[in-house]
């Protein structure tokens, strides 16, 4: 069974048909740059371009970098503020002329990792983090998602955590792997104090380079693993949501 997934990020919008039996992309993904400003209309145009690239007709799952409740985007940390309280499901559904499901991007990535990746079969508390333009989070308790947690916005050392420990912060401040890993460690220690998880799954594009920073992180008691689906997790999770999985 194939369903289309789209992952809207602060820097790129990517999508592909997903084989839901395998939990993997059925075709190579297509990506366009996120427009700036990332207004609802301009982002919708980009989503239509990605979906149109495959001449797709059928349900589409779409992630959004912010809180989403019943298809309405409630926050907009790394996109235009016009998304706040916007009926994204109606906007994107009308633009595509297709049935659309919209959910938080980190929740989508977490859903995919719990079904097909590093979280398969794991019980207890699992926290998936997507390190990118910001920091997304997905919290699972015995496999059940606690939606829209947005733990990247916790205060850490007088800073919003994602402004301090995201991949963008590493790039903008030209931090070494060692320096950045120390910041990520402080963030994980803070989350551990609050939630006592059994497992951290670290995702986003930087998960491909986990060997450069994970061994540098100390004093975290929970198991830490890179996301297995890496940067495709959001696309897979979006498709799963559209399929009602």
Q: Are residues 54 and 132 in the same domain?
A: no
Q: Which domain holds residue 40?
A: 2-107+233-242
| Contacts by residues 98-101 (CB-CB < 8 Å, ≥ 24 positions apart) | 98/51, 98/56, 98/57, 98/58, 98/59, 98/60, 99/58, 99/59, 99/60, 99/242, 100/59, 100/60, 100/61, 100/62, 100/71, 100/242, 101/59, 101/60, 101/61, 101/62, 101/71, 101/238, 101/241, 101/242
Q: Are residues 130 and 222 in the same domain?
A: yes
Phi and psi at residue 61, to the nearest 5°: -100, 135
Number of domains forming the structure of the chain: 2
- What does the pLDDT read at residue 204? 87
- What does the pLDDT read at residue 162? 94
- What does the pLDDT read at residue 157? 85
- In this structure, what CATH number is given to the domain that contains residue 196? 3.30.420.40
- What does the pLDDT read at residue 10? 85
Q: Are residues 167 and 237 in the same domain?
A: no
Q: Is residue 78 part of a domain?
A: yes
Closest CA to 106 of 20, 195, 179, 10: 10
Q: Are residues 85 and 153 in the same domain?
A: no
- What does the pLDDT read at residue 235? 97
- The pTM is what? 0.93
C-alpha to C-alpha distance for 70 and 181, rounded to whole angstroms: 36
C-alpha to C-alpha distance for 244 and 5, rounded to whole angstroms: 13
Q: Is residue 113 part of a domain?
A: no
- What does the pLDDT read at residue 91? 98
Q: Are residues 66 and 100 in the same domain?
A: yes
Q: Are residues 86 and 154 in the same domain?
A: no
Q: Are residues 125 and 93 in the same domain?
A: no
- What does the pLDDT read at residue 41? 97
Q: Is residue 114 part of a domain?
A: no
Question: pLDDT under 70 in the chain at which residues?
Answer: none
- What does the pLDDT read at residue 230? 86
Q: Are residues 165 and 237 in the same domain?
A: no
- What does the pLDDT read at residue 78? 82
Radius of gyration of the chain (CA): 17
């Amino acid at each position: 069974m194939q369903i289309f997934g789209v992952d809207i990020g602060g820097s790129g919008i990517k999508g592909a048909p997903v084989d839901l039996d395998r939990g993997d992309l059925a075709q190579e993904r297509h990506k366009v740059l996120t427009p700036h400003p990332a207004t609802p209309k301009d982002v919708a145009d980009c989503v239509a371009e990605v979906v149109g690239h495959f001449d797709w007709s059928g349900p589409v799952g779409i992630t959004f970098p912010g809180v989403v409740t019943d298809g309405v985007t409630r926050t907009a940390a790394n996109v235009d503020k016009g998304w706040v309280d916007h009926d994204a499901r109606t906007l994107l559904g009308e633009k595509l002329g297709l049935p659309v499901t919209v959910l938080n991007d980190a929740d989508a990535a977490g859903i995919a990792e719990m079904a097909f990746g590093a979280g398969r079969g794991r019980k207890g508390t699992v926290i998936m983090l997507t390190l990118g333009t910001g920091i997304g989070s997905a919290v699972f308790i015995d496999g059940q998602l606690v939606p829209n947690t947005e733990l990247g916005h916790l205060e850490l050392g007088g800073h919003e955590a994602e402004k301090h420990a995201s991949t963008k912060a590493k790039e903008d401040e030209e931090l070494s792997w060692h320096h950045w890993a120390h910041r990520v460690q402080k963030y994980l220690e803070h989350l551990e104090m609050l939630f006592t998880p059994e497992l951290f799954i670290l995702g986003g594009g930087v998960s491909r380079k986990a060997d450069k920073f994970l061994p540098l992180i100390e004093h975290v008691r929970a198991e830490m693993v890179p996301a297995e689906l890496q940067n495709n997790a959001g696309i897979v999770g979006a498709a799963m949501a559209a399929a009602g999985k």
